[in-house]
Amino acid sequence: MLDIPQSSGDAPLLDAYSRAVTAAVEAVGPAVVHVAVRGNRGGGAGSGVIVSPDGLVLTNAHVVAEAGTVQVTAAEGRPMAAQVLGMDADTDLALLRAESAAALPAASLGDSAALRVGQVAIAIGNPLGFSSTVTAGVVSALGRSLPGRGGRPIEDLVQTDAALNPGNSGGALVDSAGQVIGINTAIIAGAQGLCFAVAANTARLVLGQLIRFGRVRRAALGLTGQREAVPRRFARALGIEQAHSVLVAAVQPGGPADRAGIAPGDLLIAIAGEPVTGVDALLRWLTGDRVGVAAEALVLRRGDPRRLAVVPSERA
């Protein structure tokens, strides 16, 4: 076997990498808990991240979706009862409160907008019941989107090749500074190294809404539709630069779109001046702060542009 001499300069680099990983694990590891649930259909398990010393724990909604009882177990092995304070299927996040008389070690949510592809990513969780398991890799890509369990796409996911397995769901994805940059949520079955986490900035937004309302407020227009190409002859004539829009398939009677005069067969081109290039773009626009606020919708009806005032309602 051919021996390849190593440069004497490699050892410090490897040691620096090891030190960064171990320091991050020491900082965040105590805040990662095992989550066990029992319900009418049996039990399940996952992971969670303590985000405040008074016992607030972020995990995945699919981990606790049908839970009757929830128990979290701290990294040192102490079990605690927990309650589900709220969940959001659209981002696959849930908020628990662990019952503890003493303050708990908490992790800090970092700024996922500052992430760079290629930087170190460390996953901490409880895969297949093996507690406090650490895997490491890199941030493979940013801004990924996957179909969510609530029907909306989960946006702005962090893709990593740090190995995730069943039981890692709800655990922490950490950077080398010991900041939580994501909540691990999904793997692609049959693939290797394709793992995803809900970005920390999304988690922070959802956390605030769940604390305040017990749910995440989102707006709705009361219509269904599909992505459709904008006819080129209309696009040229009207100066529309986008290639796609939303073809309205149905309108809820008495809903915001119906009251605004939007009808089946309309092409929804833009809303509040923002291009609607597909259903995903429309869903991204329909955030909670749009509820009750009038916006101008630009639609094409048989090639005729119409500007209609629509007031989104809160989605049930």
pLDDT in tens, 119-131: 999 999 999 989 9
Angle (CA) 29-170-141 rounded to 5° is 90
The whole-number average pLDDT for the span 199-205 is 92
**34 an active-site residue?**
no
- Its pTM surpasses 0.75: yes
Residue 226, token pair as written in the block: 């599909």
pLDDT digits (tens, 9 = 90+) for 230-277: 988 888 888 888 999 999 999 999 999 999 999 999 999 999 999 999
Q: How far is CA 195 from CA 17, 149, 189, in A?
A: 22, 17, 10
What is the Cα–Cα distance from 282 to 270, expressed in whole angstroms?
9
pLDDT at 2 over 70: no
Residue for token pair 């809820």:
252
C-alpha span between 239 and 39 (Å, rounded): 56
pLDDT above 50 (res 1): no
The whole-number pLDDT of residue 7 equals: 54
Separation of alpha carbons 306 and 234, rounded Å: 13
Is residue 5 very low, low, confident or very high in pLDDT (cuts 50, 70, 90)?
low
pLDDT of residue 56 exceeding 90: yes
Q: Is 207 helix (H, G, I), strand (E, B) or coil?
A: helix
Q: Locate 237 and state its tokens.
A: 């004539």
Task: Kindly give, in sequence order, each residue whose CB lies less than 8 Å from that of residue 158, ignoring residues fewer than 6 positions away.
Answer: 112, 115, 121, 139, 141, 142, 144, 173, 181, 182, 196, 197, 198, 199
* Long-range CB contact pairs, 179-182, < 8 A, 24+: 179/108, 179/109, 179/110, 179/111, 180/28, 180/49, 180/51, 180/107, 180/108, 180/109, 180/110, 181/110, 181/112, 181/115, 181/121, 181/139, 182/112, 182/157, 182/158
pLDDT band at 10 (very low <50, low <70, confident <90, very high): low
The tally of CA atoms less than 13 A away on the side-chain side of residue 198 is 31
- Is 92 known to be catalytic? yes
Q: Return the CATH number of the domain spanning residue range 112-202.
A: 2.40.10.10
- pLDDT of 85 over the 90 cut: yes
Catalytic residue among 47, 140, 169, 245: 169
Gap between the Cα atoms of 270 and 215, Å rounded:
28
Residue 287 in contact with residue 256, Cβ under 8 Å?
A: no
Find the mean pLDDT for residues 209-226. 92
- Percent helix / strand / coil, the chain, rounded to 5: 20, 40, 35
Query: According to the CATH classification, is domain 219-314 in 3.30.565.10?
Result: no
- Residue spans of the domains in the chain: they are 11-98, 112-202, 219-314
Q: Do domains 11-98 and 219-314 have the same CATH topology?
A: no
Q: Are 260 and 266 in contact (CB under 8 A)?
A: no
Q: Is the pLDDT of residue 4 over 50?
A: no
**Mean pLDDT, the chain, as a whole number?**
91
Q: Which of 34, 47, 62, 175 is catalytic?
A: 62
Q: 157-196, pLDDT tens digit by residue? A: 999 999 999 999 999 999 999 999 999 998 887 788 899 9
pLDDT at 77 over 50: yes
Q: Among the listed ranges 148-152, 154-158, 222-226, which one has the minimum average pLDDT value?
A: 148-152
- Does CATH number 3.40.50.300 belong to domain 11-98? no
Which of 88, 92, 161, 175 is flagged as catalytic? 92
> Is 70 exceeded by the pLDDT of residue 68?
yes
Position 90 confidence tier, pLDDT thresholds 50, 70, 90: confident
**φ, ψ for residue 11, nearest 5 deg:** -60, -45
**For residue range 134-147, what is the model confidence (pLDDT) as tens digits?**
999 999 999 898 88
Taking only the tens place, the pLDDT of each residue in 22-41 is 999 999 999 999 999 998 88
Query: What's the pLDDT at 72?
Result: 97
Q: Is 52 a catalytic residue?
A: no
- Which residue type does 173 have? L
- pLDDT band at residue 154, thresholds of 50, 70 and 90? confident
Q: pLDDT tens for residues 288-311?
A: 889 999 999 999 999 899 999 999
